[in-house]
Structure 1
Amino acid sequence: MKDPAAGRRTPARPFDVVGFVPGLADWAREAVRLHPRPGTPSRDGSSVGGPLLWPADEAWPVCARMHQGFGTGLPDALPVPMVPVVQAFRSDLPPGVVPFPEGKDLLQVLWCPFDHEFPVSPWPVVVWRDSTAVREVLPQPAPDTGASRRLMPAPCVVHPERVTDYPTRDLPEDLAEAWQDDFRRLAQAHPLVSFSDVAEAPGIKLGGYPSWFTWEGPVECETCGLPVEHLLTVASWECDGGSWRLWLPLEDRDEDGGRAVPVDPTGLEIGGVGSVYVFECRTCPDRPTMHLFDSS
């Protein structure tokens, strides 16, 4: 394996997606794979599951919603302190992929480490802030003793990488039908690798498209009814056991090209190997967020 402190590079796709399906060029979206790896992140840097740059004069987020007891028991008490999931400084990310609100340079996502009534998943909150305004930092509260490690990501440093996503389930049905001859040519030329295998980057990422297992149809804002934008995917695995050769970074391979790191560096187990998808409405002035859970 290469230097663990180096960046991460996703291998090139085994074929030119747009070369086979030219119409997809207009549907390409940039994403940032965070590539979390176990480490000792600081509150002054981007991380998954690491300490947050949280101001001392601002209350730590808590959850008082109805919880499910699947495999974890119920919370010892309410409200439940939320746990850090992602911290991303704009300066650590490839430019232009994540549209930070004006005057903000830090994205923080926390969630409640228990399953909920609906969706049956952790419940995230999204905070945008100006990191330069944080003078004193609030100590992080201890997680609820009933919470399972499977919903609390292990502290990880990140290696942000820009990639290009293409839609599968988010592609309108009429276009998928109109381009079926192009998709058929692709399948005939590469019978061992399907378009769905290479369309959307897996793992924990910002932007791009959700790598849906089952969802069909657009996701709409609960306030204005307009389509929302995918902000973040928090996935159980960096890449699954079947497609790891397509998505595992070059730096995480041994000298023979085999897998030199686990595909689940965060230790998350969200409904098995599911994902939580966080969306935001960029039409509403306050950019409200919502989330969905999906699993195979």
Structure 2
Amino acid sequence: MTRTTPPRPVSAEALFPELAPYRGRVTRLHPRPGRPGRHDSHIGGPLLWPGDEPWPPCREPHQPETEGYAPEDIRRTRADGSHPAGRPWPSDDGPGPVPFLALAQLFRRDIPGLAPGPDGADLVQLFRCPRTHGPYLERRYHLEWRSAARTERAGRFRVDPPVAPLLRWEHELPEPCVLHPEEVDTYPWAEDDTLPAELIARIDAWEDAQRAERGPDALDYQCDLSIPPGWRVGGFPSWASTGPMAVDCASCATPMRLLLTAEGGEYDGGSHSWVPLEDRDPDRTGKESVRFGLSAATPTRLRFGRDRDLHVLTCPADLGHPPRWVLS
């Protein structure tokens, strides 16, 4: 089933004509639980991974653990709506490398706006280390770029990727999801110097007037007109938790470009206007029409930080330079 974003409650450019030069396109991925295959774009499904190629490991030191959740327990309890019981961490778990956990793979043929990788690579695979790092329990991520055509000609594919025996949290394990890509217009976050100061002041004044007139039903530029929630490719970064940040390439200091954003939730009470028409009750209107449920609100079952957005950024000057990862 396709997913269709409703028209915005009001036209951003009708309110603020100065936004027109800043308009951009973003591809909403709209993940929903399903059974994707290795030749599909997906979240949480099997990767197109040559059988003779080693799986990527995280070699950085990780934090010791005392308890975790077994992937098979997580899957079973998701199916019956219960919660898994914790298990003691294996005593023989040493400080060596840990296999990365695959989160997603995206083909350019499926995803409008997906930027190419090094040497024209058109398939990107996203990984996260299942262990935490440092005193602040940070995560490590990894991108693998490939030529889809060359990879699909591999004689055999890996069917048994390494699986961590235990995961620290339930939301470490992605739920297999098929994607329903959809392009929509988007506008930059309005804070600090992301837009001209005079325009941000006008947006702030409009939001103040909205709150004074409509109270809890007030429209909000960031939530309703600017950047949609959920997994998306391209567009502009959202900065709800950190405020806008300058993200430059560590190799050449070039300002980096947003490749994709991974988010735990597809919508919440503040972003309900972006909920697709297919996830609404046609007999109701507004927030009351939203069919809140895990399969639509948190389909991937993943979380990033404390319910933040994970921005994956690449260097436009040299696609071979290392990506950067920003939680915001």
The TM-score bracket by the shorter chain reads 0.7 to 0.9
Amino acid at match of 2:233: L
Structure-2 change in CA distance of 1:35 and 1:71 (3 Å): farther
Q: Distance in 1 between matches of 2:121 and 2:138?
A: 28
Residues 1-296 of structure 1: matches in 2 within 5 Å? 6-68=1-63, 76-77=93-94, 78-94=96-112, 97-101=113-117, 102-117=119-134, 120-134=137-151, 135=154, 136-147=156-167, 148-168=169-189, 172=193, 175-181=196-202, 183-185=204-206, 187-188=208-209, 191=214, 192-198=218-224, 199-212=226-239, 213-244=241-272, 246-255=273-282, 256=284, 257-262=289-294, 263-294=297-328
- Counterpart contact for 1:70–1:115, Cα < 8 Å: no
Q: Distance in 1 between matches of 2:305 and 2:203?
A: 35
How far does residue 52 in structure 1 lie from its aligned partner after superposition?
0.5
How far does residue 182 in structure 1 lie from its aligned partner after superposition?
5.2
Q: Distance in 1 between matches of 2:177 and 2:260?
A: 17
Structure 2-normalised TM-score? 0.79
Task: Considering fraction of residues, name the structure with more helix.
Answer: 2
How far does residue 254 in structure 1 lie from its aligned partner after superposition?
2.6
| 1:167-189 Cα distance to aligned partner (Å, 9 max, x none) | 12566167134552355246536
State the partner residue of 1:3: none
Bigger Rg over Cα: 2
Amino acid at match of 1:152: L
Q: Which runs of 5+ in 2 are unaligned?
A: 69-88
Structure-2 change in CA distance of 1:118 and 1:173 (3 Å): farther
Figure out how many residues of one structure are paired with residues of the other and give that number: 286
Where 1:31 maps in the other structure, the secondary structure is strand
Where 2:209 maps in the other structure, the secondary structure is helix
Where 1:292 maps in the other structure, the secondary structure is strand
Where 2:50 maps in the other structure, the secondary structure is coil
Q: Distance in 1 between matches of 2:265 and 2:236?
A: 16
- Counterpart contact for 2:251–2:321, Cα < 8 Å: no
Q: Distance in 1 between matches of 2:147 and 2:59?
A: 27
Where 2:109 maps in the other structure, the secondary structure is helix
How far does residue 70 in structure 1 lie from its aligned partner after superposition?
8.1
Q: Distance in 1 between matches of 2:194 and 2:116?
A: 31
- Counterpart contact for 1:11–1:250, Cα < 8 Å: yes
Q: Which runs of 5+ in 1 are unaligned?
A: 1-5
How far does residue 8 in structure 1 lie from its aligned partner after superposition?
0.6
With 247-256 and 35-44 compared, the bigger mean Cα shift is at 247-256
Q: Distance in 1 between matches of 2:66 and 2:10?
A: 42
Amino acid at match of 1:28: R
* Aligned-pair identity (%): 35
- RMSD of equivalent CA atoms: 2.5
Q: Distance in 1 between matches of 2:7 and 2:60?
A: 43
- Counterpart contact for 2:46–2:159, Cα < 8 Å: no
